[in-house]
Structure 1
Amino acid sequence: MLRDGLRLLVALLVVTAGVGAVATTAGAQTAQDAPTAATTGASTDAAQNDDCTFPVTLEDAKGTEVTIEERPESVVALQPSAAQTMWAIGAEAQVTGMPVSRYTDYLDGSEDKTDISQNDGVSISAETVVSLEADLLLAPNSTPDETIAQFRDVGMTVYEFREAESVEDIYEKTNRTGRLTGNCEGAAEAVAEMRTEIEVVQEAVSGEEPETVYYQMGGGYTAGADTFINHVIELGGGENIAVAANVTGYAQLSGEVIAEQNPEWVLVNEEMGLQETEALANTTALREDQIIEVNANYLNQPGPRVVVPISEIAQAIHPEAYEEANVSVRGEAEAEAEAEAGGNDSDGTTADDANDSGGESDNDGQPGMGVAPAVAALVGTLALLTRRRD
């Protein structure tokens, strides 16, 4: 239906905004970096910014030195992932403006914030943002350069993040957001929770045979190599069939290829559900009812909640190994916390807070088309789908 086509288009735009550029199917295999180990580096997190005082000057993704004179009282999150991060570090009270839509409605209290979106639900209303007179604007990499320049031209403080290509990058983005907004302790706690869950997943999938996964985005689209979603699938113990089929970026995968690859699992947006096709009918995934439903906002937005779909993938593919790892890793973490607390009580001191903020500015640059050409291509795709419907 046309409505489904519109929903697909907007969903693809959000993926483009949150994760990076959209690419077409490539003729040759693109080498995929191995997943970044997420169980090391907590001490590095803590060491990066251990005072969280102001003023502070930090370099953003484009090399701009951004100076913040005092802890910002009002912050505008220009994209959903930035809003998600602010909630994760306990800084939602500082947020005065953000996209208020189905892409952020999972954030408690988001409906009370000023919506900075235009009528399309994706583009930024510069006029609304300027009217808020916020102390700081958080700009993920998808924010157009001309929009950032427009805000800076009127004297607004904007920090642009680079593109997140791994979970490690999200740790860095979370820490940096904490440093920018004066919430280093909250950021440290959020990152620690993420690291623990990723450690559980990595222990669970270690030594296990990966099982093949097809990510069904709708309209035949999927995520291939050089995408954050592929990284998520691999971290969860899956092997992306799109990568095996030489797909790079976000592209359409033919029914013939899907049938040939015969995925053992299908990953779908829990809101849209499985779209049954002839190509999937005889796959192992459908024969054995091996469908993994995840929250698309958590999966597509490079923010702290991405650990949820990673965990859900691992639990589905390797349930017993995950359960064992969960008990083991969390048991060790609790024991360490108790030991630390006991040590603190004995001498009357407390451990230093892991006030961190990754030394990165999260978000900027992945192979493939730029956002504007990608949008044009997707609009063309939607038009074609509409004509076929008629």
Structure 2
Amino acid sequence: MRRQLAVILTVLLTVSAIGPAVAGAGAAAQESHPQCEYPLTMTDATGEDVTIEDEPESVVTLYPGDAQLAYSIGAEDTVVGMPVGQYTESLDAGDRTDISGDDGATPVAEEIIGLNPDVVLAANVALYNEDLLEQLEDAGITVVVLDTATSLEDVRENVRVTGQVTGECDGAEATIRWMDERLEIYEDALENESAPLAYYDGGENGNTHGTETFQHEVMTTAGLTNLAAEEGQTGWVRLNSEVVVDANPEWIVYPDRTESPPSAGALEGTTAVSEGNVVAVDDNAMSQPGPNVVYAIETIVEEVHPDVYDDIEGDLEDVDEEYGDDGNESDDGSESDEDDESAIPGFGATAALVALLAAAGVVARRR
């Protein structure tokens, strides 16, 4: 989606990668194994205390990524409303109410209020839709706004807090164990491997990520050296193509919403482009702080370190069989009926931009 205004891009990337400088919902769940005990009071990303009086029986997930989190921990039975569309198409929405607009991402207050849910789970981008939050507050609806994630540990906290909000603490902890076991397999297998220099090509204007983003950790965990971080960049930034060409990355990673690296034409002088060393990763997995980050890592490892991947593929399958693809431990040790991505689709950068622009009242052109 081509941005009309550079500032909109900057705001969006700040929301998805850095977040507001306030105490987040993760601060209420620092213990290793939080219990779902109610009444529950936590400080969410608004900086205000939020109290959930009783275990929720009905939950609305405000954005696609929130639905992803709820489904990934086994809380889908409590979800009565969610965005239904291309960003949640791999979830079984069933007869749940579509609370989004025509774009499948922007929440509609009237739909949510009509459901009168016990609690609304909201991604951090909700902070840029103050009118919506005010309408829900005026209707007496409890809203918990998740903190942003700047690391894989923050991703774990998003999962953990979602468990507390939905009453699925055990499912959240099982999902975290599933993530951790997969991450340990990647890290152990790559310990003595070289880490080639790589550039994340996020699209127009040179969008890429430096340190203090979970995307940076995705790349380094997958056995790459992040070019933007090597250039001293922090958060999401726009990196001039000349800087990238001079650094000469061996690999380019890019979101699969495009058929090829968006900036390939400007990076023809690099080893990555000349040798065809490019990796397309699931856009939702790479842009949203949920359990699906493990699959983005797996995709990169498979392409960049194929021999390593051949050695660990069976181990990864064993973990999935133990927990089920959605991260919840299987009673019979068998694999879940759903495929990997059906449990955890995420909320990609495109959807986040749609939601942000709708909240800000700005019309943008498609990427």
TM-score normalised to the size of structure 2? 0.74
Cα offset, 1:114, TM superposition: 2.4
SS of the counterpart of 2:204? coil
Distance in 1, matches of 2:46 and 2:103, equals 28
Mapped pair 1:321 → 2:308: yes
Aligned to 2:149: 164
Distance in 2, matches of 1:201 and 1:193, equals 13
CA RMSD between the two structures: 3.7
Aligned to 2:255: 269
Asked if 1 retains the 8 angstrom alpha-carbon contact of 2:46 and 2:127, the reply is no
Asked if 1 retains the 8 angstrom alpha-carbon contact of 2:17 and 2:235, the reply is no
Q: How do 1:126-275 residues align onto structure 2 when only pairs under 5 Å count? A: 126-144=109-127, 146=130, 147-225=132-210, 226-274=212-260, 275=262
Distance in 1, matches of 2:72 and 2:93, equals 13
SS of the counterpart of 2:32? helix
Distance in 1, matches of 2:5 and 2:104, equals 14
Distance in 2, matches of 1:156 and 1:129, equals 9
Q: How do 1:320-359 residues align onto structure 2 when only pairs under 5 Å count? A: 320-325=307-312
Instruction: State the one-letter code of the partner of 1:241.
Output: L
SS of the counterpart of 2:155? helix
Aligned to 2:342: none
SS of the counterpart of 1:138? strand
* CA displacement 1:343-381 (0-9 Å, x = unmatched): xxxxxxxxxxxxxxxxxxxxxxxxxxxx979x98x978x
Q: How do 1:48-127 residues align onto structure 2 when only pairs under 5 Å count? A: 48-49=34-35, 52-106=36-90, 108-110=91-93, 112-127=95-110
Q: How do 1:298-317 residues align onto structure 2 when only pairs under 5 Å count? A: 298-317=285-304
Asked if 2 retains the 8 angstrom alpha-carbon contact of 1:221 and 1:250, the reply is no
C-alpha distance 249-379 of structure 1, shift in aligned 2 (>3 A) = farther
Instruction: State the one-letter code of the partner of 1:5.
Output: R
Instruction: State the one-letter code of the partner of 1:19.
Output: A
Cα offset, 1:331, TM superposition: 7.4
Asked if 1 retains the 8 angstrom alpha-carbon contact of 2:19 and 2:147, the reply is no
Cα offset, 1:122, TM superposition: 4.1
Cα offset, 1:246, TM superposition: 4.1
Unaligned runs of 5+ in 2: 21-29, 323-354
Aligned-residue identity in percent: 34
TM-score normalised to the size of structure 1? 0.70
SS of the counterpart of 1:134? coil
Unaligned runs of 5+ in 1: 23-42, 336-370, 386-390
Q: How do 1:279-298 residues align onto structure 2 when only pairs under 5 Å count? A: 279-298=266-285
Distance in 2, matches of 1:318 and 1:312, equals 10
The count of corresponding residues between Structure 1 and Structure 2 is 319
Cα offset, 1:95, TM superposition: 1.3
Cα offset, 1:322, TM superposition: 4.1
SS of the counterpart of 2:121? strand
